[in-house]
Amino acid sequence: MYIDNKSTNHLSWSSQGTTGPTLSGFVAWFRVHLMNDTANRKFFYGPSCTFCSDSRVTVERNSLMMTP
């Protein structure tokens, strides 16, 4: 999965805080893959993933990300 935060440059993502897509994405990704936190899978997986409908980002995914 590739997520491009549209409104940031090299460092400005850090000023968005924890509600910004960059930091919330980092935290959710690590929780899913390092802690087996299935509740955060909704951000990345399935046909209606949270980041897929977030207008602040552009998302590219392969077919492995389509199953919930």
Domain-wise residue ranges, the chain: 2-8+16-65
Q: Residue 22 above 70 pLDDT? A: yes
pTM equals: 0.73
Higher local confidence (pLDDT), 46 or 12: 46
Cα 26 to Cα 28: distance, rounded to the nearest angstrom: 6
Structure-block tokens of residue 6 = 């549209």
7: DSSP letter? T
60: DSSP letter? E
Find tokens 């955060």 and name the residue.
Answer: 40
Q: What is the pLDDT of residues 25-66, one digit of tens each?
A: 888 999 999 999 999 999 999 988 999 999 989 999 988 888
pLDDT at 16: 65
